[in-house]
Structure 1
């Protein structure tokens, strides 16, 4: 990279600017980064080297680097200064990210992960779409259209199609030990929609919500935009682990957990902690939001029953989705609320959340009721076990002791942890440019901050035969640091 050219270009475009040499260098580098002339993960020259190349004082280069670092545009590691991912930068002017007119809720959204292709290697949360029974689904959709009644072309029941609610309730009773009837099941547009509803219906602005730390950014966004206060609770190998001081000093209104396969680390919440969490939540008047993420793909040992059914009248709102078990474009999830809330939730949804999509819901009800759903899950468990094993073997082969593996007992992803000298977010950007989706663990940290460095690697959509080459590619990127 010709830094003298970058500086000269900026000077030509800003002839009227009466800047000092150090200010001119800072502005030139800043413009080059924001315009992506200097790409993420570019290593800037050492201050002494750039000083000699440009013929300016080294202190001027140090000043420019320090200013860029204060804005999050560059970051330092043991080998020097690198351009930070642009999505992580914090632009300082309203011209760069317009803020005028946005509410506090609107400004609370975190920058999302933008994946170029959901089928790129290691994208988490995406099932094996090629193995979905397309022909069977097409027949069910066609049958739904043949049998549809005119009134079913309207908005439909606020709580969802009755046949689907019944089918889901039956499945949850048999497969997850949930204690419920269909009146407690509400069809949503997916887990994110369910989280938004929970934040608005079961908490007020300023209430405290606990989230696993590191934890799911979708829950963070839902609660932040509902103006709830957030507190991250540390996770270990047995799941979320609140201390007595957490309960005493920071009692929550909502507690969000992913007990079957913690996102992102993959730990399974132990039965002892499930019962303890329920008892403590009852004591402080909190509601637990149980996102039963990846519960269908438990492989090592029998699945633990859902928290919702462990004790009578548990203070648990149970969330599920068909995006991971069938396909994301179905946009269908569900939440199961305690019996005392059913009438209020249905009234709220009737006034602000008309559903529709009866055709898909009728077809899905038949898919579940006929046993096709259970058969599909059995096939996917076998397939995902093979792909998990292929990924584990490849990680061990190419990373060795550099990257301990977490979360292999269930789900559709593994996590690997790395030492701090490997900048996970910068390497993630490099991998992204080469169509490898390595989500950085450090991006999932919630206040209070905890050290966490590594990657979430989805394996469900990666054929076993392609796993080794993709992991080898990622390992090469990591080992360059």
Structure 2
């Protein structure tokens, strides 16, 4: 803390008061504590040291410290003077003025509300079972990675990511997802949102057309808005996205964003015939498909579904994957697999736009994958999530009966619950929040332009983080929210 700067700023605000230097320092420190500039536990400088820094007599500093101690703002002992742990409101800015100031744009406020997954309440979508993650083995891998890090690796890393991690991901994807790729096609990012932002800026210009599923993933909508693209919502039915001939003719896209293995948020699966047709039509109009394969590792009914990317040689597909669902969100590592002919161009773009780092995390993850621990972890979590999925479906069917319909429960970490039109999902979502439950409204995920086929009145229910034993009570609270509207 620069106490001279702190005092000068306070002087500029209060110089007209004509206080003595003793009172001035006392009032300055008290104001800094009250507004949080000096937080609880902060050790104030010794009186001689602060007096020297501020060009004041030591007695002036002693007086200020003694007054603060008398008022309870600091604790003084032989070990020094420490800011006390007291609960003090922020009084400098009236609450009414803060509430009246629009700090965020309307679209930012909507996105912020949808992305609020900081809690661990029941039904928060996209949150894995964090208490089941093998934390101790992961710590050992990280420690080993840090021991191997060189001084050179403390600098910015390769824009595409650490080669050993890119190789591990390529090997994993070829076997588990049928993706046709090698390591040079893999680009590491800081999460799916970073991948979406990168694709939107690297492969389009402002004003170009992008298609996304309707309803669809709000994070994609946010990225496309930020890139100033024209968003066209293409309707989704029980078999996935359904573009019409008129869409290709009137609104030819540059990018097509889809979640084919577990449509977000409805949960439908894009059939093989539609996948192949989408690939061929995208190729014909020189468009790129963004395949977001965010949680397909967790499939409970039927055989695994191969990725679209591997269905055709040199398919015009940007394949997006993430470790936030399979590992833990705070890892902030994801990846993009790009077509071979785009590797050089994207490498040049990243070399000037996105310096990378965090070599140790990437090295640890590479060993986690290549050693087989990642596959073991996935098998274990698949069993966990199936039990939790089964418990949720059973509880919903028992408590809600025919009042709601369940969709998208065969894969992933969430399902959707569609409701009758006379039950407004936004009202239910608000009521659920009052009961301590996160139940996002489906209607909030409608694209900005385009028609809807499937019902967008319902709720998104994440279940991965809820123990099976707790599911019945969580559904009981949800049922209360629905039935009190």
Instruction: Provide the residue aligned with 2:305 in structure 1.
Output: 304
Instruction: Provide the residue aligned with 2:283 in structure 1.
Output: 282
Q: Which runs of 5+ in 2 are unaligned?
A: 1-97
CA distance in 2, matches of 1:198, 1:252: 14
Contact 1:216 1:264 in 2 (8 A): yes
Deviation at 1:346, TM superposition (A): 1.3
CA distance in 2, matches of 1:118, 1:162: 35
Contact 1:177 1:305 in 2 (8 A): yes
Task: Select the structure of larger CA radius of gyration.
Answer: 2
Instruction: Provide the residue aligned with 1:177 in structure 2.
Output: 178
Instruction: Provide the residue aligned with 2:6 in structure 1.
Output: none
Matched, 1:462 2:466: yes
Secondary structure, in 3 states, of the residue corresponding to 1:144? helix
Aligned ranges for residues 64-75 of structure 1 at < 5 Å?
Answer: none
Closer, same or farther: CA 156–251 of 1 in aligned 2, 3 Å: same
Contact 2:216 2:445 in 1 (8 A): yes
CA distance in 1, matches of 2:111, 2:367: 38
Secondary structure, in 3 states, of the residue corresponding to 2:114? coil
Deviation at 1:96, TM superposition (A): 3.1
Closer, same or farther: CA 114–233 of 1 in aligned 2, 3 Å: closer
Deviates more, 1:295-304 or 1:464-473: 295-304
Report the TM-score when normalising by structure 2.
0.77
Deviation at 1:303, TM superposition (A): 1.6
CA distance in 2, matches of 1:232, 1:144: 44
Contact 1:116 1:435 in 2 (8 A): no
Aligned ranges for residues 153-164 of structure 1 at < 5 Å?
Answer: 153-164=154-165
Instruction: Provide the residue aligned with 2:207 in structure 1.
Output: 206
Instruction: Provide the residue aligned with 2:456 in structure 1.
Output: 452
CA distance in 2, matches of 1:234, 1:303: 25
CA distance in 2, matches of 1:339, 1:109: 37
Instruction: Provide the residue aligned with 2:374 in structure 1.
Output: 373
Deviations 1:117-174 (A, max 9, x none): 4311000001100000001000000111111111111111110011000000000001
Over aligned residue pairs, what C-alpha RMSD do you find? 1.8
Deviations 1:59-98 (A, max 9, x none): xxxxxxxxxxxxxxxxxxxxxxxxxxxxxxxxxx995315
Deviations 1:173-221 (A, max 9, x none): 0111111110000000011000000000111111110000000000001
Instruction: Provide the residue aligned with 1:96 in structure 2.
Output: 101
CA distance in 2, matches of 1:141, 1:130: 18
CA distance in 1, matches of 2:411, 2:127: 15
Instruction: Provide the residue aligned with 2:12 in structure 1.
Output: none
CA distance in 2, matches of 1:339, 1:449: 35
CA distance in 2, matches of 1:109, 1:115: 10
Deviations 1:20-71 (A, max 9, x none): xxxxxxxxxxxxxxxxxxxxxxxxxxxxxxxxxxxxxxxxxxxxxxxxxxxx
Instruction: Provide the residue aligned with 1:472 in structure 2.
Output: 476
Aligned ranges for residues 68-83 of structure 1 at < 5 Å?
Answer: none
Report the TM-score when normalising by structure 1.
0.78
Closer, same or farther: CA 249–348 of 1 in aligned 2, 3 Å: same
Contact 1:108 1:224 in 2 (8 A): no
Deviation at 1:108, TM superposition (A): 9.9
Contact 1:315 1:338 in 2 (8 A): yes
Contact 1:214 1:235 in 2 (8 A): yes
Instruction: Provide the residue aligned with 2:444 in structure 1.
Output: 443
Contact 1:109 1:221 in 2 (8 A): no
Q: Which runs of 5+ in 1 are unaligned?
A: 1-92
Contact 2:234 2:451 in 1 (8 A): no
Secondary structure, in 3 states, of the residue corresponding to 2:213? strand
Deviation at 1:338, TM superposition (A): 0.7
Deviations 1:399-456 (A, max 9, x none): 1101110001100001100012111112211211222000100000112253511100
Contact 1:115 1:437 in 2 (8 A): no
Secondary structure, in 3 states, of the residue corresponding to 1:295? coil
CA distance in 2, matches of 1:370, 1:176: 18
Deviation at 1:107, TM superposition (A): 6.9
